[in-house]
Amino acid sequence: MKTPPLQRLIIRIQGVVQGVGFRPFIYRLAIDMGLAGWVKNTSKGVSIELEGSPEVLNEFLSAIESKKPPLAYIHKLEFARAEPKGYRGFVISASETADEKTALVLPDIATCRDCLREIHDPENRRYRYPFTNCTNCGPRFSIITALPYDRPNTTMARFPMCDDCRAEYENPSDRRYHAQPIACPACGPHLELWDSQGKTVARNDEAVDRTAELIENGMIVAIKGLGGFQLIVDAVNDQAVRELRKRKGREDKPFALMFPSLDTIRKVCSVSEDERRLLDSPQSPIVLLNRLENAVEHNIVTPAVAPSNRYLGIMLPYTPLHHLLLDRLERPIVATSGNLSDEPICKDENDAVVRLAGIADYYLVHNRPIIRHVDDSIVRMVCGQPQILRRARGFAPLPFYAASLPQSILAVGGHLKNTAAVSVSDRIIISQHIGDLETEESARTFAETIADFGILHNVRPKLVACDIHPEYASTAYAQKTGIEIRKVQHHYAHILSCMAENEVRAPCLGICWDGTGYGIDKTIWGGEFLIIDQFDFSRLACFRRFKLPGGETAVREPRRSAIGALYEIYGTDVFEMMDLPPIMSLSEIENKNIKRMLAQNINSPVTSSAGRLFDAIASICGMRQICTFEGQAAMELEFAIDADCPENSYETAIQQDADPVIIDWSPILEGVVADRRAGIPIGKISAKFHNAMAHAIVAMAKIANIQNVVISGGCFQNRYLSETAVKLLKNAGFIPWWHRRIPPNDGGLSLGQVIAVQRSLRRK
Ligand code: ZN
Ligand code: ZN
Ligand code: FE
């Protein structure tokens, strides 16, 4: 038999393919497949030439996408076939120009295995050195002061390299070749442990040991990490965790945890192979993991770390300092953002001593400045794929790609969990998570983040996009920029962000459910079904509207949503229904006041919000009347679901002749009230409610009769809802799309706003 003739394959790849371990990946893949040729960086991306049999070359092509490194993103892959040149072996060639700078700013990356080996090796000159890093790991985004990305343009500029480090930096075969932030004990940054007054009490290795002792003794230590301060306590110490809750003013909201190892995590949570990969990835995010049903948790973490929560948010150590500390402690720690409530995290030690006074007992600090705050990212698996819920460390500021437009557009996002975004030709850069724009501190960070775009991406926006909500601080900011403004409806932006990350083309049906968003009719929207056409959108349907007594107060008090919805059906009779928990929870005066508000239309705006419906059901079920953090009631309702009744559901009534079409939830509410009175367990009620909501999605998809269905909005952080909706849509022959790389919550708005403006420009 004749062997098939050899072929040469020429590949050009654009996207996030430099500084992310892409060339070594191609090298290993080619060697494994026995292919000859080379790979190199170019100004546009990566070039590859390979020789082998056509079948193996095809296999190689598909493996690039399926096996690429976690940080890599392929925007465009072009290839051509040619006559073989007779290559022997496979090599990584030198870049086209020796000093080529990529315009891409890379995220901060978790300590790699090679560096980890060095800090554990007593013979190595970086033994136990907390600032060890290399070409594949370490700080990037958090230390860059300007472009190009070069040591003088980072906060490492103040640490001149010693001869040993310089030799590594200049040697092309060294794994620290051109690694800008490299350092060693002789030339790099150092640790200090400060007391609450900012007085140094220990240095270097001793500072790590003392910190471990303090944590063992129940102290709260603020640690200067990669992108800001973290507050650390022993996660098994109930009293210490409660003390941290008290000092931080954080009643029930779950704390993030850092575990010393995967094995320890498996004692309290189930970890799938996908989840293990996420925990272990270069991004090293907080991963939301299912708690084991029968775990003997209390000797590993106290329940106070995440009261009545089905998940634990867990990460593995991601800097050498974390590794050293957890090696010593051999137990999980709470590692929550070093801030007050929802403010941006502290990043400077002198600032921390002031802002965290009264919270931290000690401060473990160092002298490598952090230029910009970068929180820990949060990821979880949904519909079999990772979904980012908070996008920051490890992911920001990697770009998204869209059709190229000459004008740069700045988008300022929304109000809660905010991000900003900017477009630069065919790239859209979304900022790291900023937080809620509620305080002066967050307003300042927000402005700094936008100023950053100018510094890091050398861009001057011609248009600024903002939400149509008249009272968002971000909208006020946009108005002050002096740049021409374009206002974008909240739910439209949500859907566009999901379309953009999935590259879905119009037309599609966009289903956007969240708590609150300003509608074009000036009422509060939040349960929206939008038809997205080529340039714009129309409102196909929404949930039946109801009044929210007290307006904004209802966000904190689910019982107000319940009473508003019940009032819509039963009128003032509801105030006599003393067996219903929301009514039961009212004092006599509250009962009278709320009744008056609703009857006389005082401070009772109408809403079509789906989020408030979830609140209403949680309240009627007697689960929660008042929340201590955003989304708490809906979360508890989700956690209560009895997974054994996937078929049971309440009905909805759809009024098709209305414009927009109305999805009437009154049969759901009546069903819940009846079931509650009949003593049906909450788990069953919750399952029936969730299923009814998912069925409403499919019913509307059938009415819209459009193949592509895009789901977005904070409600879809609810995993059961998302997975059920996706499953039912697929079964009914639709193609569902959901968020993976962009949060479904308001963190995704900025991307959607940029796209909205691009679409309106294209129309002209
Ligand atoms: Zn490394
Ligand atoms: Zn050195
Ligand atoms: Fe929203």
- Distance (Å) from CA 417 to ligand 3 centroid: 10
**CA–CA separation, 587 vs 645, rounded Å?**
36
- Per-residue pLDDT tens for 238-259? 999 999 999 999 999 999 999 9
Using only C-alpha atoms, the chain has a radius of gyration, in whole angstroms, of 27
DSSP strand pairing (191-195 vs 362-366): antiparallel
Ligand nearest to the CA of 125: 2
- Distance (Å) from CA 433 to ligand 3 centroid: 15
- Distance (Å) from CA 157 to ligand 1 centroid: 20
Reported as a pLDDT band with limits 50, 70 and 90, residue 135 is confident
Q: Quick one: pLDDT at residue 294?
A: 67
Reported as a pLDDT band with limits 50, 70 and 90, residue 609 is very high
Taking CA atoms, 59 is separated from 54, 150, 345, 377, in Å, by 9, 37, 46, 34
Contact criterion met (CB below 8 Å) for 398 and 306: no
- Distance (Å) from CA 498 to ligand 3 centroid: 13
736 vs 403, more confident: 736
**CA–CA separation, 448 vs 85, rounded Å?**
53
Q: Quick one: pLDDT at residue 360?
A: 97
Nearest 5°: the CA angle 585, 590, 593 is 145
- Per-residue pLDDT tens for 702-744? 999 999 999 999 999 999 999 999 999 999 999 999 999 999 9
Q: What tokens were used for 484?
A: 């021409």
Ligand nearest to the CA of 133: 1
Q: How much is the average pLDDT of 121-138?
A: 95
pLDDT greater than 80 at residue 580: yes
What is the percentage of the chain residues whose pLDDT exceeds 90?
83
- Distance (Å) from CA 187 to ligand 2 centroid: 4
- Distance (Å) from CA 537 to ligand 3 centroid: 17
Q: How much is the average pLDDT of 502-520?
A: 97
Ligand nearest to the CA of 516: 3
Q: Residue 574 has what DSSP assignment?
A: G
Residues that place a CB less than 5 A from ion ligand 1? 112, 115, 134, 136-137
Reported as a pLDDT band with limits 50, 70 and 90, residue 99 is very low
- Distance (Å) from CA 222 to ligand 2 centroid: 27
- Distance (Å) from CA 5 to ligand 1 centroid: 41
DSSP strand pairing (606-607 vs 653-655): unpaired
**CA–CA separation, 14 vs 206, rounded Å?**
47
Contact criterion met (CB below 8 Å) for 532 and 499: yes
Q: Quick one: pLDDT at residue 70?
A: 65
Q: Quick one: pLDDT at residue 534?
A: 95
Ligand nearest to the CA of 138: 1
**CA–CA separation, 30 vs 28, rounded Å?**
5
- Per-residue pLDDT tens for 433-444? 999 999 988 999
Peptide bond into 646 cis (omega under 30): no
Taking CA atoms, 529 is separated from 203, 620, 656, 698, 745, in Å, by 59, 26, 13, 11, 17
Ligand nearest to the CA of 184: 2
- Distance (Å) from CA 316 to ligand 1 centroid: 16
- Per-residue pLDDT tens for 372-396? 999 999 999 999 999 999 999 999 9
Q: Residue 683 has what DSSP assignment?
A: H
Q: What tokens were used for 122?
A: 């007593």
Contact criterion met (CB below 8 Å) for 607 and 565: no
3-state helix, strand, coil in the chain (%, to 5): 35, 20, 40
pLDDT greater than 60 at residue 101: no
Taking CA atoms, 451 is separated from 227, 372, 408, 461, 481, in Å, by 18, 11, 14, 11, 11
Q: Quick one: pLDDT at residue 102?
A: 52
- Per-residue pLDDT tens for 324-374? 999 999 999 999 999 887 778 899 999 999 999 999 999 999 999 999 999
**CA–CA separation, 169 vs 178, rounded Å?**
5
Q: Quick one: pLDDT at residue 734?
A: 98
- Per-residue pLDDT tens for 148-178? 778 888 999 999 999 999 999 888 678 887 7
pLDDT greater than 80 at residue 629: yes
Quote the pTM value.
Answer: 0.92
In a 3-state reduction of DSSP, which class is residue 436?
A: coil
**CA–CA separation, 479 vs 538, rounded Å?**
26
- Distance (Å) from CA 260 to ligand 2 centroid: 28
- Per-residue pLDDT tens for 277-300? 999 999 999 999 999 976 666 588
Ligand nearest to the CA of 518: 3
pLDDT greater than 60 at residue 2: no
> By C-alpha distance, which of 270, 249, 279 is closest to 339?
249
pLDDT greater than 60 at residue 97: no
